[in-house]
Chains A and B, each alone.
Chain A
Amino acid sequence: MSNVIDEAGWKFHWRLTESAGIMIYLADYKGRRVMWEGSLPYVTIDHQRQTLDVEHEVESHGPWWIPLGTRTLDGPVRVQSFRGGVELSASFQAGPYHYTQLWRFHDDGRMCPWLTIFGPGVHDQHTYHPHFRFDFDLDGARDDAFEHFENGRWQRVETEGWFPYSGEADDHGNVWRQVDFGSRASINVRPHSWDDAEVFAIRYHDGEWPPFSPRSAAGSQPFPAAYVGNEPLDGEDVTLWYVAHVHFDQSFPYTAGPWLRVEGLA
């Protein structure tokens, strides 16, 4: 099977990684570069106590995770056309944790990096934290800005940071966007309303490549928070991390992840 897909106005490459699921790279829409690479570096899982008592802390154990990649792949990576687009999907399984990763590309410029979470887990009181990483190169790597919709309008973000979804969005549900100065095109990020999502905007650096673990030094912030400094974003090459927080409940399976839409790329 070819790892180049040219369909529905999109041309992109894909490969299965060791730990970050299906990675999409060099993605173009209508012949213009949109994304250098995008992946799902990890899904961490936190547990809460099934029963509370005064002698125990609420969360005494730390998080854990398992790489989504060649070692946990359950069946082949599938490439399927659907009405108005094309999608890739792959299932991963590790004990009581089951995931289906999806990349859907629509001919109207939408792109859906999603993760369906199912499986029973160790017990019912647990929360999933899928971490998606996007290195958008909208019409070139630099010359970009990152914006956050708050207080009723789009606000330019000057420096690296953490930007949670507060419930406020533009008329189309978009909360964050990366804008290219030259073309004035943008990538809009619309969160799933139940994702309790947040975005980390980080200036691209050598060495700050996708980490092979959420875990940095003991006692330090995990990734991507460990990458956040005070560097300017304006006009630079920006990397976005979209993190969802999904508590397990009886309505599982649940599909986390944003809608991404390319706009203004003529």
Chain B
Amino acid sequence: MPAKSAAKKAAKPAKPAKPAKAKPNGHGAKPARRGKAPDVELADPVLFDPLTPGEVADALRTLIEDRRLAAMAKVGRYRVICTEPLVVKPPHWMAGHRLARVVAYDYSHDRAVDACVDLDAGVVAHLELERSQPMLSREEEAIATSIAMVDPRVRERLSLGESAQATMHYWGRTASDLAFARRSAAVLFGQTGGHPSLVAVVDLLDQVVTQVVPAEQW
């Protein structure tokens, strides 16, 4: 980086080339707005603070009581991945509200749940049910490790002193790979502090090891 003091010269915006086209999905091109929108500078930093245990519990209760998730709650085969604070900008109607973003994975329907819970209003303000794969929860990482540890194909290939080093969040590149569409993890085995020697891919839906690969061939 050039060791210069900050340039004070204001940037001259380049000219736009041509008008934007409308988006096929209905989000049409809108005229550019000039002038200030309601000010983000007034945002309350407290809204970004980590959720308290009570707020986390409140968010989860509100979510699983939502009728749209009745089937998920009834079957009870879901994992909460994480619950974190979410802050939206003005002029959104939820700006200034205490919000929790809850991400879960519903094993009974093989789908992700991504929700925004308005803790001030006690409602699920935004809910997406989709086929994406959110990260694994800590419990899922631990389950993947334990499944791999007891698999005979893994055990017979491990040397003395080798154990699970890390559980990676993995997905397959091609449709022929089971992990392409299914919730999966890759458990790395090796000596503590050394190179991994073995990779075991675990399918979390069926809770089985689907691949055992020497690390150098990964």
Chain A interface residues toward B at CB < 8 A:
4, 13, 15, 17-19, 25-26, 28, 32-33, 36-37, 45, 47, 49-50, 59-67, 71, 94-97, 108-110, 120, 122-123, 137, 140-143, 145, 147, 153-156, 158-159, 172-173, 177, 179, 181-186, 188, 190, 204, 206-207, 209, 211-213, 215-219, 229-232, 234-237, 259, 261-264, 266
Q: Is the interface of A mostly helix, strand, loop or mixed?
A: loop
Task: Please state if B36 and A140 are interface contacts (CB–CB under 8 Å).
Answer: yes
Task: Please state if A4 and B49 are interface contacts (CB–CB under 8 Å).
Answer: no
Task: Please state if B82 and A232 are interface contacts (CB–CB under 8 Å).
Answer: no
Task: Please state if B169 and A235 are interface contacts (CB–CB under 8 Å).
Answer: no
Residues on B with beta carbons closer than 8 Å to the beta carbon of A15: 48-50
- In the complex, identify which listed stretch (B58-66, B67-75, B125-133, B152-160) lies at the interface while the others stay far away: B125-133
Residues from 4 to 28 in B contacting A, C-beta threshold 8 Å: 4-21, 23-25, 27
Residues on A with beta carbons closer than 8 Å to the beta carbon of B186: 64
Does B168 lie at the interface of the complex (its beta carbon under 8 Å from any beta carbon of A)? Answer: yes
Other A-B pairs, 17, CB within 8 Å; known A109-B6, A143-B34: A13-B45, A25-B87, A47-B218, A67-B169, A94-B166, A95-B166, A96-B196, A110-B6, A140-B40, A143-B33, A158-B16, A179-B13, A206-B92, A207-B114, A207-B128, A215-B169, A261-B6
Which residue of B14, B87, B134 is within 8 Å of A153 (Cβ)? B14
Task: Please state if A61 and B173 are interface contacts (CB–CB under 8 Å).
Answer: yes
B188 nearest CB neighbor, chain A only = A95
CB distance from B10 to the nearest CB of A (A): 4
Task: Please state if B101 and A209 are interface contacts (CB–CB under 8 Å).
Answer: yes
Task: Please state if B216 and A140 are interface contacts (CB–CB under 8 Å).
Answer: no
CB distance from A26 to the nearest CB of B (A): 5
Which residue of A17, A61, A153, A179 is within 8 Å of B11 (Cβ)? A179
State the CA gap A234–B182 with chains docked (Å): 39
Does B212 lie at the interface of the complex (its beta carbon under 8 Å from any beta carbon of A)? Answer: no
Chain B interface residues toward A at CB < 8 A:
1-2, 4-21, 23-25, 27, 29-37, 39-41, 43, 45, 48-50, 81-82, 84, 86-90, 92, 101, 103, 114, 126, 128, 130-135, 138, 141, 165-175, 177, 179-181, 186, 188, 190, 195-196, 199, 213, 215-218
In the complex, the number of residue pairs spanning A and B with C-beta atoms less than 8 Å apart equals: 244
Task: Please state if B20 and A234 are interface contacts (CB–CB under 8 Å).
Answer: yes
Task: Please state if B171 and A143 are interface contacts (CB–CB under 8 Å).
Answer: no
Question: Given A62-B170, A235-B33, A264-B11, does the pair A158, B5 have CB atoms closer than 8 Å?
Answer: no
Residues on A with beta carbons closer than 8 Å to the beta carbon of B135: 19, 67, 212-213
Task: Please state if A215 and B21 are interface contacts (CB–CB under 8 Å).
Answer: no
Task: Please state if B177 and A181 are interface contacts (CB–CB under 8 Å).
Answer: no
Which residue of B20, B39, B84, B170 is within 8 Å of A140 (Cβ)? B39
Task: Please state if A213 and B5 are interface contacts (CB–CB under 8 Å).
Answer: no
Task: Please state if B6 and A156 are interface contacts (CB–CB under 8 Å).
Answer: no
In the complex, 13 of the A-B residue pairs with CB atoms within 8 angstroms, ordered by the A residue number, are A26-B48, A62-B170, A62-B177, A108-B5, A110-B1, A137-B89, A182-B34, A207-B114, A230-B24, A235-B31, A236-B30, A264-B7, A264-B9
Question: Given A109-B6, A232-B20, does the pair A122, B195 have CB atoms closer than 8 Å?
Answer: yes
Task: Please state if B23 and A231 are interface contacts (CB–CB under 8 Å).
Answer: yes
Which residue of B5, B12, B130, B165 is within 8 Å of A184 (Cβ)? B12
State the CA gap A145–B5 with chains docked (Å): 25
State the CA gap A116–B12 with chains docked (Å): 34
Task: Please state if A61 and B172 are interface contacts (CB–CB under 8 Å).
Answer: yes
State the CA gap A182–B39 with chains docked (Å): 13
